[in-house]
Amino acid sequence: MNPKTLLIFFIVSFAADSYGQKSKKFFRSDYTYIDELQSFYKIHSIPRNWTEAKRVCAQEQAILFHPDNDEEAQIFISFWNKTNSGILWLLVGLSDILVEGEYETVDGKSGYDVYKNWFPGEPNNFGGIENCAYIDLLKGPGYLADQDCNKQNSFSCKKTLKSLQWNEQCDMPYLDYTFNTNNGKCYKLHTTPLNWTEANALCRLEQSSLAKVTNRRDAEYLAKLTVSTPTPKVKGKYQRGIYHLGFYNRFDEGWQVVGGKPMLVDLNLWYGNYQPEGENLDQCGAMFFDGRLIDINCDTKSFFICEREVKKVTSPDDIAQQIIQPFVGGGLY
């Protein structure tokens, strides 16, 4: 196949895959598909301020919801009522942060062209600091009002069926995860530095977890991933050359992998070929770019790797990889 034909083949395959997933009407297990609106919705009950809510939705590859019109508002509010969550206020993706009085949705639609059922007297920009809209069920059936963007409330994210793309190999909506045929897991190297706790939370938003290393081949694969992933120049204070992974010793109970099981790896996978005792503040797990495991302070910011298990793989190779050879030459650092 010549390169052009190959390219067309890939484009057609990819389009077909996304189409297949669209016919299944599935985005994520925590989103509900509403057929009349051709979209998926999730109500986040944990309160956040407006900027955080917008970020959480974006990290799920959705948007902070604001109804496009009255019909969507009515159908959504009936879905909201059916959830019996007791939630009476929801932040929506509508703000006048950029220009006072000129409301705009997070996806760039003018506030004049979308659902605009403001409560009488709202938006009033009370105290000169109210720039973010919310739906207030206490005021009546779906009225909007403005409030301080720093106030925390529940919110909803929305994903349209039209915008759904699908990573067939990883069986997930995130195209930037890559499949490792050796262990049936998909990985993504994140190049926005976060501390360990934040990194762990972000992986979970992608319905994955911080990556776990169980044997030398996992470590080697992740080391290769750090080389093959383009890394942008990131300013600011963070630890370069290390990557948070999914193990920790935060409660002095010994090293555990995320999910709570004891961490069972060959000592040779650790930097210096010994397992740290956890006697200092370095209670979170990471690896050097060459795949060696290290303990670091949980507050240290660095790049990190998320994984998602797709298929259980047991082949003769998996048994072979359990036989681990020490790193030649011992510690490099």
CB of 44 to Ca ion, least distance (A): 22
Give the C-alpha separation, 41 to 62, whole Å.
9
Alpha-carbon distance of 286 to 206, in angstroms, equals 20
Q: Least distance (Å) from Ca ion to the CB of residue 159?
A: 28
Residue whose CB is less far from Ca ion, 145 or 157: 145
As measured in angstroms, the least distance from the Cβ of 237 to Ca ion is 34
Nearer Cβ to Ca ion (38/152):
152
Among 96, 206, 218, 295, indicate the residue that binds Ca ion (CB under 5 A): 96
Cβ count near 312 (within 10 Å)? 8
Tell me which of 9, 19, 126, 274 binds Ca ion, using CB under 5 A. 126
**Is 152 one of the binding residues for Ca ion (CB under 5 A)?**
no
Here's the x/- map for Ca ion, 46-85, by CB under 5 A: it reads as ----------------------------------------
Among 125, 150, 192, 315, binds Ca ion (CB under 5 A): 125
Contact call for residue 130 and Ca ion (CB under 5 A) = yes
Residue closer to Ca ion by CB (options 39, 95) is: 95
How far, in Å, CA of 174 to CA of 72, rounded?
26
Q: Does 150 sit near Ca ion (CB under 5 A)? A: no
Residue 239's CB is within 10 A of a number of other CB atoms, namely 15
**Rg, C-alpha atoms of the chain:** 23
Q: Is 4 exposed, middle or buried (0-12, 13-18, 19+ CB in 10 A)?
A: exposed
CA-based torsion, 233, 234, 235, 236: positive or negative: negative
For the chain, what's the residue count?
A: 333
- Between CA 38 and CA 161 the distance in angstroms is 6
Of 146, 206, 218, 295, which one interacts with Ca ion (CB under 5 A)?
Answer: 146
Q: Does 104 bind Ca ion (CB under 5 A)?
A: no
Q: Which is nearer to Ca ion, 124 or 152 (CB)?
A: 124
In the block, which residue shows the tokens 């994140």?
A: 190
Stretch that binds Ca ion, among 69-77, 131-139, 223-231, 318-326 (CB under 5 A): 131-139
Candidate ranges 24-32, 123-131, 246-254, 294-302; the one touching Ca ion (CB under 5 A): 123-131
**Tokens standing for residue 323:** 């036989």
Query: Are the CB atoms for 99 and 105 separated by under 8 Å?
Result: no
Part in contact with Ca ion (CB under 5 A); list of ranges 28-36, 122-130, 220-228, 300-308: 122-130
Least separation in angstroms between CB 98 and Ca ion: 10
What helix, strand, coil percent values describe the chain, rounded to 5? Answer: 25, 30, 45
Q: Quote the least distance from Cβ 123 to Ca ion, whole Å.
A: 6
**Residue of 61, 105, 131, 226 interacting with Ca ion (CB under 5 A):** 131
The reply to whether 124 sits near Ca ion by the rule CB under 5 A is yes
DSSP classification of residue 99: S
Collapsing DSSP states into helix, strand and coil, what is residue 178? Answer: strand
Cβ atoms of 194 and 247 closer than 8 Å = no
Point out which residues bind Ca ion (CB under 5 A): 96, 124-126, 130-131, 145-146
